Structure 1
Amino acid sequence: MIEEFTKNEINKISYELLKGSKSLGVYPTPVENILQYSDFVLDNNIDLLNVEHSFLENLKDKSIKTLHSGLSKIKGIFDRGEKTIYIDASLEKNLGKKNFVQLHEIGHGVLSWQNDIMLCLDNDQTLSTETQNQFEEEANYFASSTLFQQDRFNFEAEKLKLGLSSVMALKHKFGASVHSTFRNYVLNSNNRCALLVLTPLPKNKGNKALCETRNLFYSKPFLKEIGKLKLPNKFGFKWEFIRDYKFKRRFNEKGEITFTSIDGEILDCNYHYFNNTYNSFVFIFPKGEKNKARTKVILQNVN
């Protein structure tokens, strides 16, 4: 867990980069401008998923100190000695993920207390919000704070109604992934809402569960007024949103469901469902919960 003092320091550095690179208020967030202003070079022509082991060993041999979590499925590398950021070529197909990884690597470079680390090798584990490594958690926080331009994200979110269509609009506006946008949306919301992220289970004979929990996020008002929900780790067909998954629905903004809190309170909710082929997102909020929208968004393109 990052201390509040450290978060404030990271936010200061992030703001100075956004301001210095003339990226504040520019949408989607111009990561290339931030990269150039940071004085780093980008190399995204390498297939890091299939890169020769000798390439990585050569990089490691030049480093004084290396921060990594294995050499498998590497998405990004920061080489301080060469002032170079390597991004896996496959991320060209996923701009939101690419932007986050680039900013994560920039974070390793601009957070001065990480200067002893000369080489960072990042995979899905280090890029995850569940990482237990302090420096990786700091780089993730920097990436999110910068990509969503700090309080600019909340300002834009407050203009929109509560729900999936607004998340998708914010995703496109800031140039982020669905996962990171949804997470940021819920964690910073002034509404009572939660986000359940599901990942498919392997198809085994006799296994009635179809999905399991990958992440579960709550807004502060939700936790304060309702508390956590009583949920299993695996979900079968009896859950309404699993029917959305089973019938291969891409999105559903008209879901209704009843939950029980860990304190035993029965809660009638609406839910919005979205599937991006990798994960299913279930956005949950109590019936009647609204955000006074100043801008209308119609969900058309969900890619």
Structure 2
Amino acid sequence: MSRPDDHTVTASELSAIRERADFLLREACAYGRFPTPVDDIVAAAKLQMEREVSLDVNYLTRMYRAVSGKIKRAVEKVRGLLHFGARMIYLDLSVKQSKQRFVSLHETGHACLPWQRDLYALMEDGDAELDPETDQAFEREANVFASEVLFQLDSFQEDARSCAFTIKTPIDLAKRYGASTYAAIRRFVSKSQYVCAVLVLEPPVYEIGRGYTYRLRRAVCSPGFEARYGLVQWPDVFFTKGHGFASRLPSHFKRKFTQRCRIPSPVPRERERFYLEAFDTTYQTFALVFPESELPTIKAAVRP
């Protein structure tokens, strides 16, 4: 089963988040600086980052015992924590640097989005906790804030539009912005002007009778894709035997690209053929897909 949505916000929420992101980027003089200067942005928010101690299980247990109710859990796993009273961000230093950068901005979002900051201030001296629905909404908002800041609002997509529409483009731009491959590909598709989607798949597992099976971790669609196909109910599993889409995916556990090729539609009950490009990172596979009818639009795009 694919993971729950962790980035969707309403149009009004997005507008408010982008306003705060823009303010902080300007305060840190971060526009046009690459990789995006996360440390300066955190400092502009009047926060500090603990760099000496990694957020491992033992340290986390001690922190919760000492300041129960005052630390905010970050993202899906405990990769980062924000102590509101001390205005200190704690990170799991064992994860990749690009992940640490995103988590730092995620936690900064909790401190900088006024409606979140004010509510946590009211809760600071007690043991009250957010209800699950509000907690999930705040996590989505902080994720969106982190993405908007890391990719300098529209700068990433402006860069992407000046390059070829290929899965290699966000991978290259990830290095420029100091982002993870996952975050860059997600941004590339979710903000694309084209009808496209990316399926993020777990590493393949071989099963007798079905070949390699790919479990869906998450699907990210462009606005145009959602407008054309609606809310797609993607299969939880794709397998190579009998499924034209999965049979074209890399399955050798190497950092490998699949060149653009035509495939049967991965969208259930859709007859139009699609194009596929894929990249295997060895721990997940990104499958970029778009309908055949979109290719002329992509080819006609004016690029410098």
Instruction: Check 1:280–1:51 CA distance in 2 against 1; reply closer, same or farther (3 A cut).
Output: same
Please say if 1:37 is aligned against 2:44.
yes
Give aligned pairs, total.
279
Q: Which amino acid aligns with 1:54?
A: R
* Structure 2 unaligned spans of 5+: 1-7, 125-133
Instruction: Check 1:252–1:75 CA distance in 2 against 1; reply closer, same or farther (3 A cut).
Output: same
Matches within 5 A, 1:192-271: 192-200=195-203, 208=211, 210-227=213-230, 231-238=234-241, 239=243, 240-242=245-247, 244-249=249-254, 250-259=256-265, 261-262=267-268, 264-271=269-276
Distance in structure 2 (CA, Å) of the matches to 1:271 and 1:185 = 15
Q: Percent identity?
A: 27
* DSSP 3-state at the match of 1:42: strand
TM-fit CA distance, 1:160: 0.9
Q: 2:53 aligns with which of 38, 46, 52?
A: 46
TM-fit CA distance, 1:117: 2.1
Please say if 1:74 is aligned against 2:78.
yes
Q: Which amino acid aligns with 2:52?
A: N
The TM-score normalised by the length of structure 2 is 0.81
Instruction: Check 1:51–1:2 CA distance in 2 against 1; reply closer, same or farther (3 A cut).
Output: same
Matches within 5 A, 1:13-162: 13-52=20-59, 53-60=61-68, 63=70, 67-68=72-73, 73-91=77-95, 94-115=96-117, 116-117=119-120, 133-162=136-165
Q: If each structure's strand is expressed as a fraction of its own residues, which one has the higher value?
A: 1
Q: Which amino acid aligns with 1:259?
A: S
Distance in structure 2 (CA, Å) of the matches to 1:210 and 1:233 = 10
The TM-score normalised by the length of structure 1 is 0.81
Instruction: Check 1:68–1:98 CA distance in 2 against 1; reply closer, same or farther (3 A cut).
Output: closer
TM-fit CA distance, 1:26: 1.3
Instruction: Check 1:21–1:243 CA distance in 2 against 1; reply closer, same or farther (3 A cut).
Output: same
Distance in structure 1 (CA, Å) of the matches to 2:136 and 2:226 = 26
* DSSP 3-state at the match of 2:85: coil
2:177 alignment counterpart: 174
* Structure 1 unaligned spans of 5+: 121-130, 296-303
Native 8 Å contact 1:49 1:73 kept in 2: no
Q: 2:188 aligns with which of 158, 180, 185?
A: 185
Native 8 Å contact 1:49 1:74 kept in 2: no
Structure 1 window deviating more from structure 2 (231-240 vs 168-177): it is 231-240
Distance in structure 2 (CA, Å) of the matches to 1:67 and 1:286 = 42
Instruction: Check 1:205–1:271 CA distance in 2 against 1; reply closer, same or farther (3 A cut).
Output: closer
Q: If each structure's helix is expressed as a fraction of its own residues, which one has the higher value?
A: 2
